[in-house]
Amino acid sequence: MPRVPDIQFILVILIIKMDEMFNIPKQIAYWKESADDDIETAEILIEKGKFVHGLFFCHLSIEKIIKALVVKETEEIPPRSHDVFYLVKKANITIPEDKQIISQILMKYQLEGRYPEYFPSKPQPDSAKKYLLETQKLLRWFKMML
């Protein structure tokens, strides 16, 4: 008769596999690197005059860096949400009022890529460039918390 595996052995193997699947430093690095890629994409798009799409990627970079902070704080996979204010609460962070303004602006541009019936108005070139600079500052501010 074949030997039945010991339940403790099975649990140890499962724990090892789960740890491999959710490695916190790897998760944080993934979200941080992805945020860096997205801000670089935003820079290219805004430079080429694709302001709405560039601001979409600005939002995406902020969303992703906050998700890295959610992982750091909760040691869990971040929620599938695009709402930076919800994610900030999950990460247990308080955003200063001056940084909330750019976050609110970016929220209106995050919808464009996901909901085609809502297409925000195209910002003026100076505004788009200003929003990019503010996003870069916000990204650096969040990164200091990692």
Decide if 2 is inside a domain. Answer: no
Query: Hey, what are 45's tokens?
Result: 């798009």
> In this structure, which amino acid lies at residue 10?
I
Can you tell me whether residue 114 is helix, strand or coil?
A: coil
Decide if 11 is inside a domain. Answer: no
pLDDT, one tens digit per residue, over 11-54 is 656 565 565 567 899 999 999 999 999 999 999 999 999 999 99
Decide if 13 is inside a domain. Answer: no
Query: In whole angstroms, what is the distance from residue 91 CA to residue 87 CA?
Result: 6
Decide if 30 is inside a domain. Answer: yes
CATH assignment of the domain containing 133 = 1.20.120.330
Can you tell me whether residue 22 is helix, strand or coil?
A: coil
Decide if 49 is inside a domain. Answer: yes
Query: Hey, what are 133's tokens?
Result: 């600079």
Decide if 109 is inside a domain. Answer: yes
pLDDT score at 40: 98
> In this structure, which amino acid lies at residue 40?
E
pLDDT, one tens digit per residue, over 42-95 is 999 999 999 999 999 999 999 999 999 999 999 999 999 999 999 999 999 999
Decide if 132 is inside a domain. Answer: yes
* Residue given tokens 């085609």 in the structure block: 116
Domains identified in the chain, total number: 1
Decide if 95 is inside a domain. Answer: yes
Domain that holds residue 72: 24-143
